[in-house]
Chain A
């Protein structure tokens, strides 16, 4: 049984459709990469799964429970679904440690001392132990994004959504963030990534989905999608990205 199920998702902004009936299933421990041009609906799809957007039609199920139900507890949903943003969105008035500890303490009611210990352990695992007392604006982009990932992991989500997490980074910092994502895959984290890093998607994805104009045009194994795409639009898109 799939862990996450998206059925016929529609979403438009001011009458302009961004998602047109998207269906997607994600199994436990599966890594799904969403590829597609700017404005194809990748980010919107992720934001709908995390209820940062209200869907116009369709439904999202996690573990068989409908997240998009009218009476669903939004906060409870978000506790199970972690999200990492393109621009990191760390809280600038808090230290790294405070950023990570906030949700475990305030949302999950965890004991502060225990939450700190766990956060420090998690930071240490991702090479950030010495940054715990720093403020985000003292860190490099790569470090900030690693902290953002740790912050999302600290609440032990069932699914992690990563929205173009390397797009705002200098090229030499991309690697350190991708390494973490790779490590999470090895630990069996269920993830959906929107990404422009084609070689990374090919390397890490169990399933690659190509979105075009709000439609999920093609899905398949990375082998199949990257070497033998069925849809002409996919072929076109891949040719354009690989020319660079």
Chain B
């Protein structure tokens, strides 16, 4: 901000009074928020610990010794989840974009491909992911096909790709559809072909627009990597299961949950940050 000597602006009495009032109000709001948070959390804690089953729950879910014992194994398993996510996500993006693009091509020669793309999204968006993991994980090896891998981890990743590819395809498609037809008209009026208009004008805008919903799907996928445990892949959930079945204590599950939260929260904040940045760019005086 420029100093008053430069701009010739000295704050008026009215403005000073206004600002003082705003400050007082901010302090009051802060105090109210703090007190109410403390009250709510206190009531929750009291309610929880006063419940008849609390001693038992504390022992089976919040046992520090069990936690420290299981944590290294759960963490080691968790790296498998991270690996599954990192392998699946780029493939999902590619599959989703390809399916969305194929659905948009109106050339007659592409009709079978387009029909296939519609069928794919309809079918795989409809099947519960866990069911798909079962079907692929146990069905594909049963076919006894030459050259088809029977590693449960590979099959699990494949099932996740099938399921999420369909979702991401729809996200991309809605992004493409959200670009106003006048943009395409302007591109075509300059002589750009249909493909060129899509590539240089429509897609770049569409992709920017769908980043937040895509990140939301990423967060969802991070959690669903635990589904491959049903095929016997030893990841975080499976490790927790192994430990708790030995000790009859559920704390290892809590350890796994904690790890998943630790991974998802930064992603959520990143999404918020992106959205806020986009918002401030649209606001007056932004960028």
Looking at the assembled complex, report how far the CB atom of B284 sits from the nearest CB atom of chain A, in whole angstroms.
Answer: 11
Q: Is A83 an interface residue (CB 8 A)?
A: yes
Q: Is B230 an interface residue (CB 8 A)?
A: no
Q: Report whether over half of chain B's contact residues are helix, strand or loop; otherwise say mixed.
A: helix
Q: Mark B187-218, 1 if CB is under 8 A from A, else 0.
A: 11111110010001100110010000000000
B residues in contact with A87, CB < 8 Å: 182
Q: Mark A65-101, 1 if CB is under 8 A from B, else 0.
A: 0000000001110110111010101111100000000
B residues in contact with A79, CB < 8 Å: 191
Count of CB-CB pairs between chains A and B under 8 Å: 60
**B182, A89: Cβ atoms closer than 8 Å:** yes
B residues in contact with A74, CB < 8 Å: 188
B residues in contact with A138, CB < 8 Å: 287
**One of A2-10, A20-28, A102-110, A122-130 contacting the partner:** A102-110
The size class of the interface chain A forms with chain B is 20 to 34
**B189, A107: Cβ atoms closer than 8 Å:** no
A residues in contact with B200, CB < 8 Å: 102, 106
CB nearest neighbor in B for A108: B191
A residues in contact with B287, CB < 8 Å: 135, 138
Separation of A141 and B188 alpha carbons in the complex (Å): 22
Separation of A177 and B31 alpha carbons in the complex (Å): 56
**B186, A78: Cβ atoms closer than 8 Å:** no
**A107, B186: Cβ atoms closer than 8 Å:** no
Interface residues of A in 43-68 (CB under 8 A from B): 50, 52
Q: Is B68 an interface residue (CB 8 A)?
A: no
Binding site for A on B (CB under 8 A): 182-183, 185-193, 196, 200-201, 204-205, 208, 287
- Contacts A/B (CB < 8 Å), 6 sampled: A75-B188, A85-B185, A89-B185, A91-B186, A93-B208, A106-B196
